[in-house]
Amino acid sequence: MEILNNRKQENEHITEICKDIYRIQIPLNGSSLGTINSYVIRGADRSLLIDTGYRAEPCIETIRSSLSLLGVRPEKTDILLTHFHNDHSGAATDLIHPWRKIYVPAQEYQFFGIGDDPKVYTESRRPRYLKEGLSDEEFEKMMYITLPGSKGPDFFAGQFSPVDDRQTFAAGEYTLTAIHTPGHTPGHMCYWDEAHGLMFTGDHILFDISPNIIPWPGIPNILGLYLYSLQKLQNYPAAIALPGHRQPGSLSARIDEQIRHHKQRLNECESLVKLYPDKTALEITRLLSWKIRRPRGTRGIPLPLLRYAFGECLCHLDYLRFQKKIEQTFSGGFYRYR
Ligand SMILES: [Zn+2]
């Protein structure tokens, strides 16, 4: 199959990937990610749109005008979501035609009802985060200052349908199979076209940035699930991986890199815990090495980044605890590790 990477088409947002498959790069105002990739699979009877951007006018307008340029008709287009995050799902109910469906990962159906209020899932983390070393004030600053002003889709508009692992979706000459890949979020789905070797990876696999992995209340070892999901995708002979942000790349090579990255991080965490016993997760986060671009003259981890660094550190500590390599104790009002 001929893959036509980076051949710009029709407007500045559209790139033709291969016959009848296009990437639309949607600007994400207010997000450090810059843009999100939406993918269109064009078929005569049915088209599919994978992920949508924020529920905000610039995103909605970019997709509408791009679909129109590509001759993709809303009344023949279903929307497939990789996961519930607002940058992937927000515009879905604004874009969907009343006759069509929005397919959402079955395990994330519950999150769509609260999509307008990111506070609900942010607050579910507060009890643990306060015991892992953060003060109330630090939690507020870290979790709320950086929330982009985005909204989830309007769940009560209906038209949502759950996607199960292995469910298939046909459009034109392509047939996508949903692959459950928990880790970045609990229900995350990748979509695989076997005949053409295309893997739509959402935020499970990204190139030049690492997917954010943070603890989920009720899931004891989310990093373990993420590593399992990475290994699961190694079995697919993909010609190309099409990620939710930035540029495409080689699936297999990127999986190897990501597994290596997390193994190194696990080793570093374990060494620090042994070297400095009884530290809190927040203290361990500050001891870990981070590649960070800091404003001149500042030290430490800037607050917007601390949120991701702290979450990542917690997941690695959970994994090590699960493997019985370290222990968690509780003293002075905080969990500590040894
Ligand atoms: Zn995401």
Q: How far apart are CA 196 and CA 1, in angstroms?
A: 7
The predicted structure's pLDDT at residue 149: 56
Ligand 1 centre from 183 Cα, in Å? 10
CATH of the domain at 306: 3.60.15.10
Average pLDDT (116-123) is: 70
Q: Which residues 6+ apart lie within 8 Å of 181 measured at CB?
A: 188, 189, 190, 202, 204, 229, 232, 233
Examine residue 2 and state whether it is found in any structural domain, yes or no: no
Percent of the chain with pLDDT over 70: 92
- Chain mean position to CA 64: 23
105 or 143, which is more confident? 105
225 or 11, which is more confident? 225
Q: Are 86 and 117 in contact (CB under 8 A)?
A: no
The predicted structure's pLDDT at residue 31: 78
Percent of the chain with pLDDT over 90: 72
Ligand 1 centre from 228 Cα, in Å? 18
Ligand 1 centre from 277 Cα, in Å? 33
Whether 4 has a pLDDT exceeding 60, the answer reads no
The predicted structure's pLDDT at residue 46: 98
Ligand 1 centre from 332 Cα, in Å? 35
Strand partners for 103? 80, 161
The predicted structure's pLDDT at residue 298: 66
Q: How far apart are CA 328 and CA 186, in angstroms?
A: 24
Ligand 1 centre from 203 Cα, in Å? 5
Residues 5-60 pLDDT 10s: 555 555 789 999 999 999 999 998 877 788 999 999 999 999 999 999 998 899 99
Examine residue 200 and state whether it is found in any structural domain, yes or no: yes
Ligand 1 centre from 245 Cα, in Å? 9
Ligand 1 centre from 180 Cα, in Å? 14
Q: How far apart are CA 276 and CA 292, in angstroms?
A: 23
Residue 255: which pLDDT band, with cuts at 50, 70 and 90?
very high
Residue 115: which pLDDT band, with cuts at 50, 70 and 90?
low
Examine residue 1 and state whether it is found in any structural domain, yes or no: no
Handedness of CA 234, 238, 244, 246 (dihedral sign): positive
Expressed as residue numbers, the domain containing 130 is 7-337
In the chain, the number of structural domains is: 1
Ligand 1 centre from 184 Cα, in Å? 7
Q: Which of 314, 330, 332 is nearest to 322 (CA)?
A: 314
Examine residue 159 and state whether it is found in any structural domain, yes or no: yes
Ligand 1 centre from 244 Cα, in Å? 8
Ligand 1 centre from 333 Cα, in Å? 32
Q: How far apart are CA 234 and CA 252, in angstroms?
A: 6
Give the angle 51-57-60 at the CA atoms, nearest 5°: 30
Average pLDDT (300-328) is: 93
